[in-house]
Amino acid sequence: MSLVKNRLAHAVCLTLTALPATLYAQSAAPADNGAPVELDRLTVTGSLVRRVDVETASPVAVVDRQQIQQSGKQTLGDLLQALPGIAGDATNPQVNNGGGDGASTVSLRGLGDQRTLLLVDGHRVLNNDVNSIPANMIDHVEVLKVGASAMYGSDAIGGVVNFILRKNFEGGEVALNYGQTSRGDGARDGASFTFGKTWDRGNVVAGVDYNKQKSVSTADRAFSKYAMYLSSGSVLKRGSSRTPSGYYKLPAATLAANGCSPRGALTSDGNGGYKCYNGSADSYNYQAQNLLLTPQQRVGGFVLGSFNVTDNVQAYVNAYHNHTMSHYAIAPLPFDAQNDGITIGANNPYNPFGVEFGPNGYEFRSRFTTLGQRQGFYDTATDQDVLGLKGSFGDSSWIWNVNFDYGHYRQRSWNHGYVDYASLQTAIDAGQVNIFDQGNANTVAWMRSHESIPRFETTTIMRQWEASANGNLWELPAGSAQLAVGALYRKQSLDYTVSSNALINSDNTCAISSEACSSPLSGSFDVKEAYAQVFVPVLAQSSPVGAVNLTLSDRFSDYSSVRSSNNSASFQVEWRPIHDLMLRGTAAQVFRAPAIGDIYLGPTADSPNFTDPCIGYSGSGHANACAGVPAGWAGSGLSQANSIKSGSRYVGYQLKPEKGTSFDYGLVYSPEYVPGLSLNLDWWKVKLDDLIQSISAQTVADLCYNDDNSPYCSYIHRYAANTVSAGNINYIQTPVVNIGKLNTQGIDFGANYVLPETAFGKFNLALDTTYLHRYDIDTGDSIVHMAGRYSSSYGNYAHWRGRTQVGWKLGNWDASWTTRWVGKVQIGSGDPSQNMSADASTAGVVMKYGSQLYHALQVGYDMTDAHLRFDLGVDNLTNKQPPVMYQNNVLNANTDVSTYDTLGRYYWMRATYRF
C-alpha cells in the first residue's frame, strides 16, 4: 500500500548485500528542547497498516539501491535470481530452447513464477518479466518470503517481490556500463539517464534505460558443444535421429538383408549406399547450433510524479515503458514424414526403397539443414501506468488512496527455418525435390525459396480500480490499534493470434512443421475483491512478558473465470520478550486463481519423453489404455510421444483455484551488547492442493492403464489396428487440469554484522542461507520427492543455497566480495516409485553433483569533486564451469541453465556522473 501523508522513508540495510536485514525508519531530528522524537510510520511489504517497527511478523529481505549498483547487473532479473530463496526452473536469457524472449522470472521457494506475485510500489503488475522494469527507476526491492494472499490476493503463495520507486530522487544521473567474458564474447553495454526535480507542490522523476547483450554459442564452450548422453553407463556424444543423412524404418526383411535389427533403421553411408543406423556414430549434433546466451536489446523509460492538489489531497502518477528485441536459435528443422503428414510414394523417382513413407507408411526422418537454423525473433512492449489520488481525513490519522492501474503487454514473434508442407508435398510428387538428398542443388534452391515464416502476437491488458483507507481505531495501553480496508475491481484479457501457416488443424498438423503448430486464444476474466487488516498491540514492552502484537487479515475474492468465490485469511503474532529479541509467526491461507491461458489455451503440439505402459501387452485388460494394441506388442521404439497441450476448456474440464496454507515461525535477534549484529532464523512450510498444471502424457497413460474407468482415458489416441503403425500413440491430449498436491518446507538463516569503524575502514559481513528440507509433488499417480534433486520437469531443488558478502569502505574507496553457492544435488533415484534415472537406458541410476561456489569482486571509487563514480568488477572469479548433467536429463546445453553460470569469468565496468 502507498503512503499518503508521510513520505516513504528510504529502507536502510545493515549490509551491502541483498540479504535479510533489519530496516530502520528514519526519525525526525531531535528538537532543541529535548522533546521526545516522533518516528515516521512506514508501510512495508507484508503489512497494509503503517508501522513504526519496520521489522514485523513478515520475513522481508531487502535489496537497496547501493546493492543494485554494486552488483554490476544490467537487469533486475540477473540480480534477483541469485537470491537463496529462489529455486526451481525460472527462465532467464540463458534459456535458449524454450526461452529467448529476453525475460527473467522469479520463483520464490521454487513454487514457480506463477505463484510469486510482483508489485511495483505496492501495485500489481501485468507482466511477470522482471527485466521489463527499468533498473534505474528502482530505489530498493522488498522480498516477502511468506504466503500473502490475504493481503495481496491471488498468486502470492511463495511470496511477494515489491519494487519500490525512486520517488524522491533529486538532480541528474548518467551511467554507462560495459562487460564481456574472459573469452571475449558475451559483450554487453548499457546507458541510463535519470532526472528528478522537487518544488513546493510536488515533484517529478523521469529516466531512460538502455542495455544490449550479445549472444554466446554453445559451440564455444567445452561442456556444451556436443549433445552428450549418459546411456548404459557410458557417456556418448549423441544427438537426434533426425539427421541430414536420413533415418529409414523399413520392412523387417529389408533391414535383415542389410544386417540390421528388425527394430533398427538404415541411414546413408555417405557413398551412395546405406548402412545400419548407429545412434552413437550417426546421430545429428544439434547442440552445436544452439545458443548459450540469447541476444537482447532493451530500451525503457519511466515517469514518476506527484502534485499537491490541496493540503490534504495529492495526485500521483507512476508509469513505465519497456521495449525488448531478442531471439533464440536452435538447430535446423527436424523432419518426420509420419508426424508432419508428408507422403513419399513407393514409386517416387528418388525413393530407393520401393516402400511408402508417411502417415500411412513407414517412418522417414531427416534434417532440413538447407533452411539454416530455426530462429525465433521477439518484439516485446510492456506498459504499466498507475494514476491516483491520495490524502488524509483532516487532522485525523486516517488516510485514503484511490487509483487506476493499467497494464498493457504486446509481444510479436516470428520464426525462420520452416517450409510450407503442402508446397513440399506437391514438389515431391512432381519430382522437383529429392527429399532423400539434402545436398541436391535443385532441392536446396527450392527449399530456400519456399521458406514459410509463422507469425504470432500476444496482447494482454489489465485494468484495475482500487480504493483503500487505513488509520487508528482506538488507543490501547500498548499503542494504537489500526485498521486497513480496501476494495478493488480488476479486469484482464488476453488475445493470441496465429498466422495461417501455423494454425493447427483437426489432425494436429498445420501448414508447416507440427512443432510450430498453434491455436489462437481469446479470453478474459474479472475479479471483485474486498480486504481488511487489523493490527492490535496487545502488550507494551514494559509489561512483564514484553511486547505482543497481533495482526489479522482477510480477503474476499470473486473470480468470474471459476464461477466461485474465495476467502483467504492470515494470523500473525510478534512477541518481544526482551528488547533485543523478536519472536514471530504467520499462519495464512493462500490461493491461485487459474490464469487465462490455463483455461483458454488452444491446442499446441509437443513431443515429451514417454514410455508406453502397453509395451508387452498381453491382449487382455486395460481395454481403454491399450485400445488397438496387438498382443505382445514390442513398442514403437520411440522415447517420445506426440501430445496436444491445451487449456482446460478445450476438453471441457472445469478448473478451480489452487488452495493451501503457508506457515512461518522465526526470530530476529539484535543483541545490544554487540552493536551492529543482527541474526534471523525462520522455519517455513507451504502446502497446496488441486495444483493447476498441464497433465503430462506419461501421467495420462499411467492413470488410464491403472484404472480403465479413469476420465483421462479419453485423452489417449492411438493409430487404428489396420494401419502400419497399429498400436502406436498417435497423440495424447494433455490439458491443464487440477491434479496433485505440493508440500514444501525449509529453514532460512541470516546474519548481518556491521563492525565498529577502524583505521583500516568500515567492514560489514553478511550471510543468507536457505535449507530446503522437503519438496514433494503429488502428480496424481505418484509422489515425487524433489528436495536435493534436479529434474528437467521441475528444476533444481538443492538442499542448500546461500550467499555471503564482505563489504569494505575507506574514504572514497569501497569494495565487496560476494559468494554464491548452490548445494549438492543429484539426478535420478534408486526408488522405482520415483521413475527417475540419470541414465537414458538403465533404471534407477543416480548421479551426484557437488556444490557450486561462485566468487564476485567489486571495487568502486567516488571522485567527489568531479561528481563521478567508477566501479570495476569480475563475476565468477574462478571461472567455475557448470556441471555436465547430460542431454537426456536437461533441455539446454547439457546443464541446468536456470541455476548455474554458463559464461565463465565475466569482467564489467560502470561510470556514473551525478549533477
pLDDT in tens, 602-661: 888 787 878 899 998 888 889 899 988 888 888 766 667 888 889 999 999 999 999 999
Residue 106 has pLDDT above 50, yes or no: yes
Whether pLDDT at 17 is above 60: no
Q: What is the mean pLDDT of residues 80-88?
A: 93
Residue at 772: amino acid letter: L
- DSSP-assigned letters across all residues of 220-238: GSTTTSS-EEEETTEEEE-
Between 834 and 310, residue with greater pLDDT: 310
Contact 573, 663 (CB under 8 A): no
Residue in 766, 771, 830 with CA at minimum distance from that of residue 797: 771
pLDDT tens column, 455-479:
999 999 999 999 999 999 999 999 9
Mean pLDDT calculated for residue range 296-321: 97
Specify the pLDDT at position 3. 32
Q: How much is the average pLDDT of 173-182?
A: 98
pLDDT in the model for residue 5: 31
Q: Which of 56, 44, 61 is nearest to 143 (CA)?
A: 61
Backbone dihedral angles phi then psi of residue 697, each to the nearest 5 degrees: -60, -40
- Under 8 Å between Cβ of 176 and 211: no
Q: Rounded distance, CA 553 to CA 122, Å?
A: 17
Q: Averaged over 103-131, what is the pLDDT?
A: 96
The per-residue pLDDT for range 472-498, each reduced to its tens digit, is: 999 999 999 999 999 999 999 999 999
Q: What is the pLDDT of residue 8?
A: 28
Instruction: For 539-562, give one letter per residue: b (16+ CB within 10 A) or e.
Output: beeeeeebbbbbbebbbebbbebb
Q: What is the band of 34 on the pLDDT scale with cuts at 50, 70, 90? A: very low
Asked whether residue 10 carries a pLDDT value surpassing 50, the answer given is no
CB contact at 8 A, 825 and 801? no
pLDDT in tens, 760-809: 999 999 999 999 999 999 988 789 999 999 999 899 999 999 999 999 99
Q: Over the range 738-770, which residues count as b (16 or more CB within 10 Å of their CB) and which as e?
A: bbbbbbbbbebbbbbbbeeeeeeeebbbbbbbb
**Confidence label for 723 from pLDDT (cuts 50, 70 and 90):** confident
CA 113 – CA 741 distance, rounded (Å): 17
pLDDT digits (tens, 9 = 90+) for 521-570: 999 999 999 999 999 999 999 999 999 999 999 999 999 999 778 999 99
* Digit-coded pLDDT (tens) for 150-161: 999 999 999 999
Rounded to whole angstroms, the Cα distance separating 268 from 437 reads 10
Q: What pLDDT sits at residue 801?
A: 98
Domain residue limits, the chain: 60-223+291-332+375-418+453-607+642-695+739-914, 245-283
Sign for the pseudo-dihedral over CA of 223, 224, 226, 232: positive
Give the per-residue pLDDT at 489.
98
The predicted pLDDT at position 149 comes to: 97
pLDDT of 1 above 70:
no
Q: Categorize the per-residue pLDDT at 825 as very low, low, confident or very high, splitting at 50, 70 and 90.
A: very high
**pLDDT at residue 639 in the model:** 67
On the question of pLDDT at 698 being above 50, the answer is yes
Listing DSSP states for 517-579 in one string gives -B--EEEEEEEEEEEEEEEEEEE-TTSTT-EEEEEEEEEEEEETTTTEEEEEEEEEEEEEEET
Mean pLDDT, the chain, whole residue set: 91
**In which band, very low, low, confident or very high, does the pLDDT at 20 lie, cut at 50, 70 and 90?**
very low
State the pTM of this model: 0.90
Q: For residue 40, what pLDDT is reported?
A: 53
User: Does 896 have pLDDT greater than 80?
Assistant: yes
pLDDT of 507 reads 74
Region 78-103: what's the mean pLDDT? 92
HSE, side-chain direction, 13 A CA sphere, residue 549: 25
The beta strand positions in 593-690, using DSSP E, are 604-606, 643-646, 658-669, 677-689
**pLDDT > 70 fraction of the chain, expressed in percent and rounded:** 94
pLDDT digit string, tens, across residues 844-870: 999 999 999 999 999 999 999 999 999
Q: For the residues 152-175, what does the mean pLDDT come to?
A: 96
**pLDDT tier for residue 722 given thresholds of 50, 70 and 90:** confident
Dmax (CA) for the chain in angstroms is 106
| CATH number for region 60-223+291-332+375-418+453-607+642-695+739-914 | 2.40.170.20
Per-residue model confidence (pLDDT) at position 30: 37
* Secondary structure element (H or E) that encloses residue 142, with its range: strand 138-144
434 pLDDT more than 80: yes
Higher per-residue pLDDT: 914 or 279: 914
- What is the pLDDT at residue 638? 63
Exposure letters 397-406 (e unless 16+ CB within 10 A, then b): ebbbbebebe
Mean pLDDT of 377-402: 96
Residues contacting residue 670 through CB under 8 Å, at least 6 positions apart: 22, 580, 677, 678, 679
Q: How many CB atoms lie within 10 A of CB 709?
A: 7
- How distant, in Å, are the alpha carbons of 54, 580, 761, 855 from that of 13? 12, 17, 18, 22
pLDDT, residue 221, reads 97
How many CB atoms are closer than 10 A to CB 38?
10
% of the chain with per-residue pLDDT over 90? 79
196-225, pLDDT tens digit by residue? Answer: 999 999 999 999 999 999 999 999 999 999
